[in-house]
Amino acid sequence: MEDLGFNLPLLGAFVINFVILFGLLSVVLYRPVLKMLDERQAKIKESMEQAEQMKEQMARSEEQIKAHLGTARREGQDIITQATQIGEKLEEEAKDKARQEAESLIAKAQVEIGRERDKAIDELRKEFVDIAIKAAEKVISKTLDKKKHQELIDEALEESTTFKQT
């Protein structure tokens, strides 16, 4: 083999050195590296599982949030409905109160108008009585011929219509 350029004792020494180096490297380097790679793989797997759990938890949280939002919307609609009903009730009460006040004012006005009318009628009666008395006085003070009697009646009627116009 030396013809080929191989030195057998040197080749044997290289092989022995390689085996010793391989043994040392496997004990010192290969096993720790494998152990480190296994640990890293376990951490990655654990991280992936945690990520999956967090994803599931987020999905559950999202569902809970949606449920809470739905509940909040329903409660908001209920509150709006109640507020609308209260507003309508207050509006109806205000209308009723205004209607009652208007009816009260109308009743008072009608009573006042009745009093004024009665007062005006009483005054007219008094004045008519006064006119009738004056006419009677004039009739009595003058002689009662037919012509004078007619003039007196016309005069009393004129005074009565003049008084009504003022």
pLDDT bracket for residue 24 (50, 70, 90)? confident
pLDDT at 6: 74
Q: Tell me the C-alpha distance between 92 and 119, whole Å.
A: 40
Please tell me what DSSP assigns to residue 3: G
pLDDT-wise least confident of 63-72, 77-86, 93-102, 121-130: 121-130
Q: Tell me the C-alpha distance between 75 and 97, whole Å.
A: 32
Residue 11 pLDDT exceeds 70: yes
Please tell me what DSSP assigns to residue 60: H
Residue 112 pLDDT exceeds 90: yes
Percent of all residues in the chain with a pLDDT value above 90, rounded to a whole number:
55
**Token pair of 3, please?**
């013809």
**Token pair of 137, please?**
């006085």
Q: pTM, whole model, 2 decimals?
A: 0.41
pLDDT at 80: 95
